[in-house]
Structure 1
């Protein structure tokens, strides 16, 4: 299951890169709108899949214990 999810994540990332590359080319307004819509859909799909695949979120504290500021407060 994880291998399939990782393959899907790679596919979404590749599509996002492809759409961004296409947006740097000369396009008609209709083509640009289509690609922008597809890019937004791919980003949303990637975010959803990544959240489902890797549900743990790590946050970095503002003042880590080992930082200079944290030691100065002691």
Structure 2
């Protein structure tokens, strides 16, 4: 079961990266809304899966993989 959860997390992570790459391209408003919605759904799914797989020891920060703000690095 643990290996399956890790595989699911990896799949969600790959989807998140793919959607972020798509958002850097030229998209219509409809396409952009769709990709943003899918990105949000994937992030929620991976957060739920991670919290169930690693209930206490590992928690992911909000915005999985988001770049830190300039103030955070100071």
Q: Distance in 2 between matches of 1:32 and 1:56?
A: 35
Give the total of aligned pairs.
58
Larger Rg: 1
Q: Is structure 2 residue 17 aligned with structure 1 residue 17?
A: yes
Root-mean-square deviation (CA, aligned residues, Å) is 1.0
- Runs of 4+ with deviation above 2 angstroms: none
Instruction: Give structure 1 stretches of 5+ with no counterpart.
Output: 59-74
Instruction: Give structure 2 stretches of 5+ with no counterpart.
Output: 59-74
TM-score (norm 2): 0.76
Kindly indicate which of the two structures has a greater share of residues assigned to helix: 1
